[in-house]
Amino acid sequence: LFGSFALALAQAPVNVHVGGDKWWITAIVAVGAALLGSFGGAVGLYYASIALEGRRRKALSEIRRKAKVYTPIREELVALRRGIAEDRHLSVGVRRKRSDDHWPRDAPDLVIWREFVDDGRANTTASASVREELKRVEGATDAFNLALQAAQDVFKERGDALVEQSGFTTDYPGQLRNDFETLYRHGIRAARVFHVYPAPSSSQRDVSPVTSAPRRSRRSRSGS
Amino acid sequence: VTLWDADEALRDAATKLAGAERDLDGAAVAAIAELDAAMKRIADDYEHEPD
């Protein structure tokens, strides 16, 4: 407002009385215009800085509001990936609910996003694309847990049948199921549980007395 | 034919488990990337520079 006023005043015709009796009027007008211009500029800067500060505060508020939701979820996802890399997801899978007495304690969790969904914060804070991605993670987690359960059941069934056929007994019920993680990690991945030893005449036969087939077989029997 | 090949149930279960494991890790990676992108979009919208 003051800026506009000063601009209109500056554009108004001014009679300059050089050498006249009213020279001081010209001086007053000039000084007044300068003062008004300075004042208008200062007011404009003031309001501009207020607007900028408001925008900065709004940005910080928005970022903090999002960070309160996004940061813990991100940390949980990073921890989940670390748990997968360290094979801590092969025992009971990925937990979907918090519990104080769960075991083992180092199994990865995926609980935070569901809690945000349940208490209503998910829809008001997370963007549609984030909600979609996290929904996909939950679906993949459920699919993994189901696949893990199915694999454990198959391993238990086959393990029990092998034990029964071999005539040996396990140390405790469910031992083979509990050994699933070891079997899967070290057996399936390293392809050793179902390893077929080369025939004695094979050129690839391992002749080492430490790792040859008969010695390994006896050791595994005594271990079970 | 190895014992592993002969037992289709074991093989199928292990294959499905490995696939589910890859899908889970891939979904987690995509979600982390989307979270990062979402935070960056907010900062860009407000032309916010970290303090």
- Mean pLDDT value across residues A86-103: 85
Q: What is the pLDDT of residues A21-49, one digit of tens each?
A: 678 888 899 999 999 999 999 999 999 99
Please tell me the predicted confidence (pLDDT) of residue A109. 93
**Looking at residue A183, what is its pLDDT?**
67
A89–chain B nearest CA distance, Å: 9
pLDDT bracket for residue A2 (50, 70, 90): low
Q: Is the pLDDT of residue A10 over 70?
A: no
pLDDT score for B9: 81
Residues (pLDDT < 70) of chain B are: 1-6, 46-51
Interface touch B20/A148, C-beta < 8 Å: yes
Predicted local confidence at residue A193, as pLDDT: 44
B16 vs A164, higher pLDDT: B16
Distance of alpha carbon A62 from alpha carbon A127, whole angstroms: 12
User: Residue A151: which of B3, B14, B29 has the nearest Cβ?
Assistant: B14
ipTM of the predicted assembly exceeds 0.90: no
Q: In this predicted structure, what is the pLDDT of residue B40? A: 87
In angstroms, the CA A157 to CA B9 distance is 10
- 6-35 of A, contacting B, C-beta below 8 A: none
* Calpha distance A187→A183 (Å, rounded): 5
